[in-house]
Amino acid sequence: MRIGLITEGIAEFRSMGVFLRRIVPSASVSGPTRVKASPEAKPELTAGEIARQLPTLAADEAAAVLVIIDRDRQVLCPPSYARSVEEILRPRCRKHGIRAVRVVVKDPMFENWLVSDPSVFLKFPKRYHRHVANSIRFSGNADSVDAGELLRRLCVKDYDKVIDAMVLARELNPETMARNSRSFDKFLRELYSLTGGARRKSRSRR
């Protein structure tokens, strides 16, 4: 099934296409498409912004929509927020011939996904401090760390939200990420469910 990926973040918008095309067939993904949606917005407002993109995704033959949004400062718990947005979007998707919609909340933000595979930083020794990367230990709790601060400590030079995301997307291992981040594990399960794929090792490309 061809899916349309929607996100609200600039780093995700620039990097997730590279990442997804490493782990699922490129023909199965449309986007990513970026929407202007605040993490603090009510579900109705978020769904309204996403709905504006549905005609474009339908024209690109997307049969399903996968949305990723930050929890950040959202007061609703991630599952409740995701269900609310899905329920609002479902009839709007059907109007455009889109059969399924899934919403995944990054907990608390995209940077937590980026740090959830600590070994990736060792692959770029000129960009990231090896001693910091070697000190990272996760036991399924990458969603609870201050990922922004960790990335700033990892970087040899200044951390750049977009550029570093694009660099890491080339080498991140999805299975390691899923073991360390519950919210990424949710994303991966939804992705493979919609595309008809099965979990497998990442195909690393430089």
Q: Do 120 and 102 belong to one domain?
A: no
Q: What is the pLDDT of residue 22?
A: 92
What is the domain extent for residue 56? Answer: 3-110+181-195
Averaged pLDDT score across all residues of the chain = 92
Decide if 175 is inside a domain: no
Looking up tokens 């269900």, which residue turns up?
83
- Residue 29 shares a structural domain with residue 120: no
Is 203 inside a domain boundary? no
CA distance 70 to 182: 14
| 80 and 104 share one domain | yes
Least trusted range by pLDDT, from 8-17, 22-31, 164-173: 22-31
If asked whether residues 126 and 49 sit together in one domain, one would say: no
**pLDDT for res 37:** 81
21 in a structural domain: yes
Residue 196 or 191, more confident: 191
Number of domains into which the chain is organized: 2
Question: Are 95 and 7 in a shared domain?
Answer: yes
**Residue 205 domain-assigned?**
no
Q: Find where tokens 């200044």 sit.
A: 158
Alpha-carbon Rg for the chain in angstroms: 17
Q: What is the pTM of this model?
A: 0.91
Same domain for 135 and 73: no
Query: Which positions ≥6 away from 68 have C-beta within 8 Å?
Result: 5, 6, 7, 12, 16, 103, 104, 105, 106, 110, 187
Helix and strand numbers, DSSP H then E, in the chain: 10, 4
Q: Looking at residue 13, which CATH number applies to its domain? A: 3.40.50
Residue 176 lies in a domain: no
